[in-house]
């Protein structure tokens, strides 16, 4: 593991996910407040929530990111680029795009790389992450998707949306880490529900965690540092 297991260091790896389609404004408020309370690196919000999240988190030090082509990745490249540009204008600073899953599975590498590269170009130097949706892929496709992510110029390759079943596994994170150069980072998301799974993903080579269980993970870490047992663990069944 490349980080020290302190609360601040682990919080700095977390993108707190606020993506459930049925969330009300009160739900979003609660999750934004959790992110601010625990001092995570960023939130990853639904595109329509970006301006509100930017305002509510102003002064907290928590960055606002969003998703592009989510959750299926099958919107056109032009639509993904337009979505990113609007998200950037609204104040988002990191962008998690879903790869063209069918194209990747079909071996259409040029299509996949061009799709990624167009989105990365629109991000204009901002952090870009490519979601492979590993639960739909075999090992060869995961490795190839990781390489295509690097070829397209993205900052991160990421495991999952959290909405396709499955989620991050140690095996897949290690494979993704081994398939790209040190210039590309790995984000583990989907199923990171507590401190044990967070540590496992960081040990496997992830440098960012996508999760809605930030309070659970960091609460367990704080309790361990204080020599007590954490209580009130959250259920994070979808992300």
Catalytic residue numbers read 96, 158, 187
Q: Which of 223, 157, 228, 159 is nearest to 191 (CA)?
A: 159
Task: Name residues whose C-beta falls within 8 Å of residue 217's C-beta, 6 or more positions apart in sequence.
Answer: 10, 14, 192, 194, 195, 198, 209, 211
| Phi and psi, residue 95, nearest 5° | -140, 120
| Phi and psi, residue 42, nearest 5° | -155, 170
Spatial separation of the C-alpha atoms in residues 152 and 150, rounded to whole Å: 5
Spatial separation of the C-alpha atoms in residues 49 and 72, rounded to whole Å: 19
Tokens read off for 56: 């509510």
Contact at 8 Å (CB) between 146 and 157? yes
Pairing verdict, β 185-189 and 127-131:
unpaired
Contact at 8 Å (CB) between 159 and 171? no
């Amino acid at each position: 593991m490349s980080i020290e297991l302190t609360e601040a260091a682990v919080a700095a790896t977390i993108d707190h996910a606020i993506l459930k389609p049925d969330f009300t404004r009160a739900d979003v408020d609660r999750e934004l407040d959790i992110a601010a309370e625990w001092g995570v690196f960023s939130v990853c919000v639904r595109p329509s929530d970006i301006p509100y999240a930017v305002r509510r988190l102003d002064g907290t030090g928590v960055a606002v990111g969003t998703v592009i082509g989510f959750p299926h990745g099958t919107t056109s490249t032009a639509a993904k680029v337009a979505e990113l540009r609007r998200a950037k204008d609204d104040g988002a600073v990191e962008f998690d795009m879903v790869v063209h899953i069918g194209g990747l599975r079909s071996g259409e590498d040029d299509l996949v790389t061009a799709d990624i590269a167009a989105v990365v170009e629109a991000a204009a130097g901002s952090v870009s992450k490519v979601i492979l949706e590993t639960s739909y892929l075999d090992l060869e496709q995961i490795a190839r998707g990781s390489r295509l992510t690097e070829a397209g110029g993205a900052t991160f390759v990421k495991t999952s949306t959290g909405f396709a079943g499955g989620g991050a596994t140690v095996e897949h994170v290690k494979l993704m880490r081994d398939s790209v150069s040190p210039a590309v980072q790995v984000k583990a998301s989907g199923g990171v529900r507590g401190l044990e799974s967070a540590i496992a993903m960081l040990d496997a080579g992830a440098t960012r965690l996508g999760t809605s269980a930030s309070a659970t993970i960091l609460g367990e870490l704080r309790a361990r540092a204080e020599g007590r047992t954490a209580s009130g663990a959250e259920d994070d069944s979808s992300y």
